[in-house]
Chains A and B, each alone.
Chain A
Amino acid sequence: MSRRGFLLLALLPWAPARAQQPGFEALMRRFAALPESRATFTEEKAIPELDLPLPSTGLLAWQAPDRLEKRTTSPIEEVLRVEGGRLDYARPDRGIHREFSLEDQPEMRALVEAIRGTLAGDAAALRRHYEVGFAGAAEGAWRMDLVPLSLRVRAAVQRIRLAGRGAQMLEVDTEGNGGVTRMRITPQP
């Protein structure tokens, strides 16, 4: 999508709507039909205590039903792999490898369930964890607003905004602790 396309997307009149609307269900079905996808990402973390945002780039891989991998390649090397309730975390550059239960990591879980729930097309899972706002626009563009239901999670992550076109996720913005992390995704064939 061109830069102009992005701008247009941002200018669309987003009507806040309940997630039950047909567009949401249809989108979920389209995601559910995709067994796997790969993408590259660039990410920028803006943290109020820092002078400048922290950029990073890497790869995303999705494999239905529940396997999601986020591999950061620069500036640090980091692999985050979620499968079922397990979270594998590795920092190959530091020789660190840990396994967690997703349950014990509410901050991480908030993010994982948002992306994974969408990629899996699991509307019920999304509604279990978030208050879901959805808006569709022309040419299959859509935007989703996820507010964590759990107070405990909301202490760390206040809102996750997803945007995309068709069964493609293009943006993930995570707001928490006064900062925003913006992830831009480029799908790969």
Chain B
Amino acid sequence: MAFLEIDSLRKRFGSLEILKGIDLTLDKGGFLVLVGPSGCGKSTLLNTIAGLETISSGEIRIDGDVINDLHPSKRDIAMVFQSYALYPNMTVAQNMAFGMEMRGVPKQERDKAVAEVAKTLQIEHLLKRRPSQLSGGQRQRVAMGRALVRQPRVFLFDEPLSNLDAKLRVDMRVEIKRLHSQTGTTIVYVTHDQIEAMTLATRIAVLKDGELQQVGSPYEVYNSPANLFVADFMGSPSMNLIEAKIARTNGAASIVLERPGAEPIVMPAPVSADATKLRDGGAVIFGIRPEAVSDPESADRNSKHIATFPCRVDLVEPAGSDTFVVTTIAGKEVTARMRADADVRPGQNVSFAFNLDKAVLFDPASTQRI
């Protein structure tokens, strides 16, 4: 039995359904990231776990206990808010101890717990300050400290890094990851940043319009996206999605990518696709990540299926560590990631190596992966 279980959870505001039957589980010590575009219901889902929003139907259980109708303070959870929500009239120490104070924990114990957590987070020197005297990163630490000090069963993070500048965000991301591996706490984390989701999660849940699109490990979600939405949403730069046709010859299916004014690209169907579902002449969407399209020299040597074709270069974007090269296939811009010092110029015809081990196919009608 999983530690946190959510069963067919629904949330309606009047006639508007925000969450349309969510089923999720998370093991003890897991790190679940809810990710999706704004308005997908991820924050609402987190708030229902916290008890800040009521649910219309369904069930939420922590460690087997049904917590649907419990007051937020009785659920044994702690939450870190986007705005940190530190009480401006209290010092850092008072902020951290407030929850325990409300629960009637004696002052001595409170002080001890605060001191311990302050030491782990290296905020001991800030304990007497007020939130207005702290920098953004320090506030973030204090907000985490306030959550940690109570040792709750589940931690909830609501976009905790989105108010920080880019560099600090990366630092705090590492910090949260370290904290999770040190303390082994169970975390549910909401973000719209798919890089945060990839780096932090042990389990990712992708939401769109109140429906779960896919739940799985970061590897699964990234490499085997369940549908076009997940494929497009996860990864930066995003996956190349190209319209293609199936051609069956002698029982073997191959993918045909039309190119106006050039030979069509024909390559064997990716191994990930269910070959029985590929009809001759059927339309599919061919999905391949930019890092799986490269110059032949830096193509993955362990890959079993690499197809190489010459393509015309439209645009070159040097990014320092890599060079992104854009070409047009079947009317779509296709981005390839080549090595940093690849000598390519716009207008040239260059060999592009497609790593078919990493390619996926989607049904254009249902948008599901084949």
Please indicate whether A and B come from the same complex rather than being unrelated chains: no
Which positions in A face B, CB cutoff 8 Å? none
